[in-house]
Structure 1
Amino acid sequence: MTDQSSRGITAARLQRLCERWPGVTIDIKWGDNLVFSVGGRMFAMTHADGRDGGRLAFKVADERFLELTDLPGIIPAPYLARARWVSVVEPRRFSTAELQALVLDAYALIRARLTKKLQSELGPLPMIKAGKR
């Protein structure tokens, strides 16, 4: 029994999630891409209008890049694959919780590359609370 709201993630839901995290800024770039950054460095993006079925892209750890791009519904992100970004082209294949965890990992990866001073100013890393299944 799968609740439709527990699959994929909308641009609005992604924004509500990320805007609570320390230091996150949200901008519109390249026309209509909703871009999430920390310390001026991008960690995730999606179309602001939700087109392409809520397709989203985010940074992944080097060691997870091949693992994730081997999954159906995830491809190397166009223009950003060299920087180890993936694009979730079929977000409904994944639970909302899985996608939220991957985006939090992206945030943590980028945040870890900031100066120690800035990391300290941001405080502890956020956590995602487990929701009902």
Structure 2
Amino acid sequence: MLPTPLFGMTYAEFNDFCGALPATTYVMQWGKAHVWKVGGKVFAIGGWEKESDPAFTFKTSTLNFNILRDEPGFRAAPYMAARGMKWIQQYAVIEGGDADLKDYIQESHRLVSLGLTKAQQKALGLNQR
């Protein structure tokens, strides 16, 4: 049984949330995908081929990737996961709703920012403790 389409977070809400994270930039690319970057590296994508059905793609840890890819409403992200990257796409309603999606996006931002050089992190004011 397929999950029902996602009618929770809109692309406008997605863009507002991602834009509030530190040191982010936005670009629309790959057709009409809403692409968010930190330090020039993608951390979240809103959109996919079926414009009428929102989908949100984000980077995960290996553990979360292995768990989420088999959960209802999630799948290994098309194109990215096929290249060995640990990216998940939420394409339907999930039990935790928008709060869980926001947590996943925030964690993706953190994971991607940790992959930047220490100099880039410092210049962007990221991961400073």
- Aligned position for 1:97: 99
1:58 is displaced (CA, Å) by: 0.8
- Aligned position for 1:56: 56
- Equivalent-residue separation in structure 2 for 1:79 and 1:124 (angstroms): 28
- Equivalent-residue separation in structure 1 for 2:8 and 2:63 (angstroms): 24
1:38 is displaced (CA, Å) by: 0.7
1:92 is displaced (CA, Å) by: 5.2
1:53 is displaced (CA, Å) by: 2.7
Pick aligned residue for 1:106 from 105, 108, 117 = 108
Instruction: Structure 1 unaligned segments of length 5 or more: list them.
Output: 1-6, 126-133
Structure 1 stretches of 4+ moved >3 Å: 91-94
Verify the 8 A CA contact 1:8 1:93 in the aligned structure 2.
no
* Count of residue correspondences: 118
1:24 is displaced (CA, Å) by: 0.7
Secondary structure at the counterpart of residue 106 of structure 1: helix
Report the AA paired with residue 37 of structure 2: S
Is the deviation greater in 11-20 or in 101-110?
11-20
Structure (1 or 2) with the greater helix fraction = 1
Instruction: Structure 2 unaligned segments of length 5 or more: list them.
Output: 1-6
Report the AA paired with residue 63 of structure 1: L
Verify the 8 A CA contact 1:57 1:85 in the aligned structure 2.
yes
Q: Does 1:116 align with 2:115?
A: no
